[in-house]
Structure 1
Amino acid sequence: MEPTFYVNTYEGKNDDEIISACLRDASFYEKKTVVFSGRDYEINNAILVESGMTIIIDGCTIRQRNRAFDNVFRGANIHLDPDNPMNPAVKIERLQNIKIIGRNNAVIEGCSINRNGYHPVLGEEQEMTGDYWGFLTYQILFVMTENLEISGLCLKKTRGWAVTLDLCEHFSLHDMQIYSKVKNGDGIHLLSGCCHGVIQHIKGVTSDDLIAVQAGFRLDEFPSENYLAPFYPSRCEYEKRSVRELDCHDIIIRDIFCGGEMHGIILLALNDTCIYDICMENIEDIERGKRYFATVFLYTGVYGAPGMLKDIVVRRVSSLADTAFVSNTSITNLLLSEITSKNENGRLYGTFRRK
C-alpha cells in the first residue's frame, strides 16, 4: 500500500512550514497520498507537487494569506530563479501521475487583500493580479505533466487564471466550480501542447473566459506593452519544440455551465499552430455580464500570426450571450448542432474582425 500523510499531524511555526515538513516525508516514496483535513490552512508559498502524488483536500479550505504572491499548487518540476521568480523557468523536468482531489466542499481561495506593486509602464501602484503580472497569479499551474487529474474543488478569489496547464497530456479536469473577478480572470486555461484531455462538469462565473484552449502564444521579452511578466514559465521548452509539438488536440469539453464577462469557451490558434480534434458539447449559460460576447468563440490571430482550426464539433449549446457561436476564420470539418439562444436579442452565429 502507498503511504498516506496527514498534514494536520505535523508541527511548525506556520502552515507553510507544516506543509513543507509533510511533503518532505512524502517525497521518499514513489507513490504517496497527502491529506489536508481537520482545519483550514493559510499559505504564503506554493505547494509543490511531485510525481506520484495524490493530494486530497477533505472538507477544508486552503487559503492564501493576505498579500501572498505565488501559486497555490505548482508542479515541483518547474525550477524558478529564486531571485527572479516571475521570470521564465530555468529548467522544467517531466512530471507524471498526479491527482488533486477535493471532497466535502473543498475550497481553494486567494487572498482577501492582494499585494500591491508598482507598474513601471503605467506609472502607478496597482494590485498584482491579472495578466499583467504573469504566471504566479494562477491558483494551480502544471507544465509538462502526464496523467493529471484535478477535481472536486471550488476555486474563488482568484488572482489570475484559476487552473493553467501547459505542455500537458492525458489529463482530466472535472467537477469544479470557478469564480473570478480580476482582470483576465479565466477559469481553466490550456496553453500550447496540451492534448488528450477531458474537461467536464465545470460550473463558473468568470471575469473572462471560463475555458480557454490557446496554442502558439509567445511573448518572450518583457515588459511587452503593459505585460510585465510571461503568461507561461516554459520558454526553455518552447524553444526546443517544433510548431507541431505546440498544437492542442484530442480534447473533450462537456457539461459546462458558464457565464461572465467575455466568453464561455474559446479556442485560439496562433503562430501557425493548429487546434484540432476538439469536441464541445452540453454548454449552457447560467448568467451573463454586460459584455458577454459569445458562448463559444473560435478564432485565430489577434495576438499574433494566425494559426489553424480543424475537426471541431460543437453541439447542444444554450446561450445567453450576444451570439451563441462566433468565429473569425475558416475551419476545416466543423460540425455545429443544436445551437440555441435564450437571449431574445441574441444571434445564433456570427463573425468578427478586430478593429
Structure 2
Amino acid sequence: MAERVRVALNGFGRIGRTVLRAWAGGAWPGVEIVAINDIASAEDCAYLLEYDSVFGRFPGAVRLEPGAMVAGPHRLRLTREADLSRLDLSDIDVVMECTGRADTVEVSGRGLAAGARRVLISGPSEAAEFTVVLGANDAALDAHMRVVSNASCTTNALAPLVKALHESIGIGTGWMTTIHCYTGSQPTVDAPRGDPARSRAAALSMVPTTTSAGRLMDRVLPDLAGRISCAAVRVPVASVSAIDLTFQPLRAVTTPEVNAVLQGAGGVIGWTDRPLVSSDLRARAESVIMATRETAVTGGGLVRVFGWYDNEWGFSCRMLDVAASWGAHR
C-alpha cells in the first residue's frame, strides 16, 4: 500500500474545519490529517468543529486529550503557536496554510522552516510559486514547487468552466458576476471595513463589491488574459454562492449545444436540470454545479450560463485533491 500524504492544518477557521469535515468522510484514503495548529484555545477548536451553523453537528464524537483532539476515530495533535516555524513538522508532507495571512514569503514559508515538505495556501497569495486550479491548469503543477496557492473559491468555480467552454465553443469576451454569500471579512453590524460598502451589516443588504477571481483568471488561464471581467455581489445567505457568466462565443451556438458542453465536461464540473435553490447545493463536492435550466442564448448571439458552488465545501475538497496528488511526489 502506498504511503499516505501526511497533512497539517495551520489555521482552524472556516476552511480548516471544513477540510477536516470533508476528509473525515473517507473520500481521500491517500491523505492523513495528523495535526492542527491554531491560536484559538483547544476548547474553542473542539467546540466549533463539533457544532457548525452551516454543516451541522460533526458526525462523530469530538473530545480533547493532552496535546490532541480526537474527532471520531481520528487523533490529531493540537498546538497553539502563532509562529508555525517554531513547531517540528518534519513528519508533514503538506501544510495546508488556512490562516488567510500567508501573503508574504516570510509567513508562507514558516511551514517549510518547521520542516514540512510543501505548503498549500487556501487563498490567493503573491508569495506562492504557482496558483493552481484543478480542472484548469493543474497539469502544470510541478512536484518541485514548494509553496502553491489553491486560488479562491470563485476562481475554482469559474476557471474550469471557462476552459471547457473555450475549448468547445470559443470565448471572445465575457463578464462574470459572482453572487456570493457573506464571509467573515464583513461585519454583522455596520462597522468600518475600508471599503464603505463592505462596512455594512452583512446579513441585511446585498453588497456590490470586487472579487479576486478577475486577476486570478489571468494567472490561471493566461491564454485568455483580459477576456473575462469579474465583479461580485455579496448577499445575505451564510453558504453557497453562484456564478453568472455571459460571454460572446467565437461561433454561433444554440442553448442545447451549450448545455451538452456543460453536461459532458465532467471532472470538477457538475450539473443539474432541476429547479434548485442555493441551500440545496450545500456540501456539494464539485467546484461548480451548472444549472442547465438557466442557460440561454440571445438573439444577438450572447451566451448566458449559471452555476452554483459551495464556496467552503467545494473549495475544501479541492484542497484535499491537490494535497493528495501534489503531496504524493516525494
TM-score range, shorter chain: under 0.3
Between structures 1 and 2, the one with greater helix share: 2
The TM-score with structure 2 as length reference comes to 0.27
Between structures 1 and 2, the one with greater strand share: 1
